[in-house]
Structure 1
């Protein structure tokens, strides 16, 4: 069973399908319609609609278009985003997508599949540089330090996959990334001085991209809401419209998929960001730490 999935008989529920189903359920409720009414539009049973809304079956594009028409969803960008999520979920179930070439990603596979079609990511990391901003040498040093690999070739494949993710920052429809990083992550000598110097140089360069915001929470900020955990909020439409929260620990991967969880973590993220330095001051601190090395 892949991370982010659960099973019931021969059916599989995925993060993508649950999120898509939940969004269609929300749209149906806002339209004041029932499952039998949705089923009638689809020439299906209410039981099938229930399975769709719970993420137990893959979505067909015609069904999504019919339901969007029924629920009064006229924004073509919203409809297309729902279609993109459904397509990626189908590919995910059929083990398609570049990320599936890398079993070394392990629990990250489901996250990378979501990241590939996301419109934005907000990520808070207090202990290390976020994956989308890592250099190969830094990513390699982290993997070696985790002591979780038996084969050096697996480490190289893992690093290759992590770096491949970064294409989302510069592709034709680039991901909007807002990263907040603790000062400790910038001072920890992962891989040694040369590796960290190159990593900090890379941070300075990538932070100049128009779709990237990079803030640093300095030691002097004192206590703040991010001290007990790290997390990422992945968005698939306008901010807050379709968000999921991802948390990765040494023993498990946790997905928080409800609107309430997303709202709470977005609010927490913004409080952490307010503890951080302004973008220009963050860049200045990164440069100062780099020179100290």
Structure 2
């Protein structure tokens, strides 16, 4: 995927629809490219959302595939909507991959993290420590990544269709004061506050739980309100990220996340533990 382009969910839906119409026309990628007078790579990149087609290209593809009304109008409308800029376009220099666009469009976000508090609930100082720990880049890039993360968090407080966020943390995270006492105090206060938002649920998986479905690492499951947008699962590791989009893979990840939720403490008991962790460290008193 081009580092200068992160496709929105609408752009991904457009790409998927164009591929389906080609297949319905019983044309292979090579044949379609030849008929259009394009390279095979151009067709493939449009269908995988790696490149953004202009409206003229979409017209040509629909003509070739014999797509008429009302599907034609719906696809052209979708192509125009896909042109709309997302917030992430202002930070394209420090972001990569489609995750931020997918998250922005999700109606529900399920997040299991055994190591750190997730990005949507981080304070700027806590985020800085996390980013610095894994990024040896320029200080200016780190600060832009922090600003991008803070803008990203606004999806939780937007007026129209904020997503439901379900977070499960390993309770060991509460014993990992990243950034030192002052940074950790503010982060715990932020976590307490966010856990009480109407669209946010935070649960802790107690250390007394032995074998569980989250032992292999962090996991995010994104669900969408539009039936045309399939759910996506996302896992991040030391050597990169993995996106899972096949129905079987996503369903496996969804069930794994639900089992982790079932093994975790209730949101009420989890909030009590977060508050207790802050009190143990004396964070209820001024520095």
Once the two structures are superposed, what CA deviation does each residue of 1:210-258 show, in whole Å capped at 9, x if it has no partner? 1111111111122211011212111221699621112222222211111
Counterpart of 2:25 (choices 36, 47, 71) is 36
Matches within 5 A, 1:78-157: 83=78, 89-91=82-84, 96-103=85-92, 105-107=94-96, 110-146=98-134, 148-157=135-144
Once the 2 structures are TM-superposed, how far is the Cα of residue 20 of structure 1 from its aligned partner? Answer: 5.5
What is aligned with 2:284? none
Question: Matched residue pairs, number?
Answer: 257
TM-score, normalised on structure 2? 0.74
The separation in 2 between residues aligned to 1:167 and 1:68, in whole angstroms, is 38
Once the 2 structures are TM-superposed, how far is the Cα of residue 36 of structure 1 from its aligned partner? Answer: 3.3
Report the secondary structure of 1:234's partner residue: strand
8 Å contact kept, 1:126–1:184 = yes
What is aligned with 2:245? 257
Matches within 5 A, 1:1-293: 1-2=1-2, 16=9, 17-18=11-12, 21-22=15-16, 35-36=24-25, 55=49, 58=53, 83=78, 89-91=82-84, 96-103=85-92, 105-107=94-96, 110-146=98-134, 148-173=135-160, 174-237=162-225, 242-293=230-281
> Taking structure 1 as reference, are residues 150 and 241 closer, same or farther at Cα in structure 2, changes over 3 Å only?
closer
Report the secondary structure of 2:98's partner residue: helix
The separation in 2 between residues aligned to 1:67 and 1:266, in whole angstroms, is 37
Report the secondary structure of 2:277's partner residue: helix
Once the two structures are superposed, what CA deviation does each residue of 1:7-62 show, in whole Å capped at 9, x if it has no partner? xxxxxx96845556557989x9xxxxx8139xxxxxx99x99x9776657649699
Once the two structures are superposed, what CA deviation does each residue of 1:186-227 show, in whole Å capped at 9, x if it has no partner? 221110122112111111101111111111111112221101
Deviates more, 1:250-259 or 1:174-183: 250-259
The separation in 2 between residues aligned to 1:162 and 1:270, in whole angstroms, is 26
8 Å contact kept, 2:8–2:86 = no
Report the secondary structure of 1:129's partner residue: coil
Once the 2 structures are TM-superposed, how far is the Cα of residue 181 of structure 1 from its aligned partner? Answer: 0.9
Report the secondary structure of 1:150's partner residue: coil
Which structure 2 residue ranges, 5 or more long, are not aligned? 27-31, 37-42, 282-287
The separation in 1 between residues aligned to 2:116 and 2:107, in whole angstroms, is 23
Report the secondary structure of 2:120's partner residue: helix
Higher Rg of the two aligned structures: 2
Which structure 1 residue ranges, 5 or more long, are not aligned? 6-12, 29-33, 38-43, 71-78
> Taking structure 1 as reference, are residues 198 and 239 closer, same or farther at Cα in structure 2, changes over 3 Å only?
farther
Once the 2 structures are TM-superposed, how far is the Cα of residue 151 of structure 1 from its aligned partner? Answer: 2.1
Report the secondary structure of 2:105's partner residue: coil
